[in-house]
């Protein structure tokens, strides 16, 4: 199941995974980004411990190719696994076991890796990568959403569509963006809708939250009051 893009933003250092599949709740199982450490997408008869162990290896200082090799050696189910790894510097690596269900394969680019299995064909991952490269002038999350849209337009999962997710981390221990479409007839289109909403509705709120640099948060109460709806008068 599944195709995904795992990436690091060269301008901001953000790390992310965007993913879609014909199975519900992909966001609960596949994407594992961690701020300042790296990102892993684990898929194809998914083993979530590849994400957990992969982040531990990256946090210990291993680069993406070395972490990939360690993970493949460590997992007894490696023949059926597929995963991608991007480290804190943007080095990327990918693994596809020989028994993954076709079409399956992967590719790596500058700061990202794309992989998929049970796909209509290779064009899904190639279109995903092309769209990501072509949107280099866009904000990081927008690049990822465009990449997934292109992959879906090129065929996506050959079994159909059900769920999608976008998880982005930046400087904090909590995610900057965590969008999950758990069950939808067109999950990548729904991911686009939620991302557009996020930018206007939740994005400004996220900018106010407490951070390591600003533990109390950063907000202007006068500005907040100015945008609150009027309180109904009971008289």
pTM recorded for the entire structure: 0.93
pLDDT confidence tier of residue 150, bands split at 50, 70 and 90: very high
pLDDT confidence tier of residue 148, bands split at 50, 70 and 90: very high
Look at domain 3-227 and name its CATH class: alpha beta
Structure tokens at 221: 């109460």
d(CA 43, CA 51): 10
DSSP letter at 101? Answer: P
Helices and strands, counts by H and E, the chain? 7, 10
Q: In 10 A of CB 86, how many CB atoms?
A: 29
Give me the pLDDT at residue 25, please: 97
Taking only Cα atoms into account, the Rg of the chain, rounded to an integer number of angstroms, comes to 19
Give me the pLDDT at residue 218, please: 86
Give me the pLDDT at residue 223, please: 62
Would you call 17 helix, strand, or coil by DSSP?
Answer: strand
Q: In 10 A of CB 134, how many CB atoms?
A: 13
Stretch 102-124: mean pLDDT, rounded? 97
Stretch 201-215: mean pLDDT, rounded? 93
Stretch 206-220: mean pLDDT, rounded? 90
């Amino acid at each position: 199941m599944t195709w995904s893009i795992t990436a690091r933003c060269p301008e901001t250092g953000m790390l992310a995974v965007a993913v879609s599949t014909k199975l519900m709740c992909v966001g609960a199982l596949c994407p594992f980004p961690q701020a300042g450490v790296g990102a892993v997408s684990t898929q194809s008869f998914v083993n979530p411990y590849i994400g957990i162990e992969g982040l531990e290896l990256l946090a210990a200082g291993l680069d993406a190719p070395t972490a990939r090799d360690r993970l493949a050696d460590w997992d007894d189910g490696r023949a059926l696994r597929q995963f991608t790894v991007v480290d804190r510097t943007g080095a990327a690596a990918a693994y596809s076991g020989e028994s993954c269900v076709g079409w399956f394969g992967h590719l790596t680019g500058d700061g990202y890796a794309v992989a998929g299995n049970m796909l209509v064909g290779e064009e899904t991952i190639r279109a995903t990568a092309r769209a990501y490269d072509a949107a280099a002038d866009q904000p990081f999350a927008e690049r990822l959403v465009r990449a997934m849209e292109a992959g879906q337009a090129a065929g996506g999962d050959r079994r159909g569509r059900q769920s999608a997710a976008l998880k982005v981390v930046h400087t904090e221990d909590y995610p900057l963006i965590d969008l999950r479409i758990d069950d939808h007839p067109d999950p990548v289109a729904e991911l686009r809708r939620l991302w557009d909403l996020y930018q206007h509705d939740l994005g400004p709120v996220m900018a106010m939250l407490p951070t390591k640099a600003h533990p109390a948060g950063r907000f202007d109460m006068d500005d907040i009051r100015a945008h609150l709806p009027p309180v109904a008068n009971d008289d």
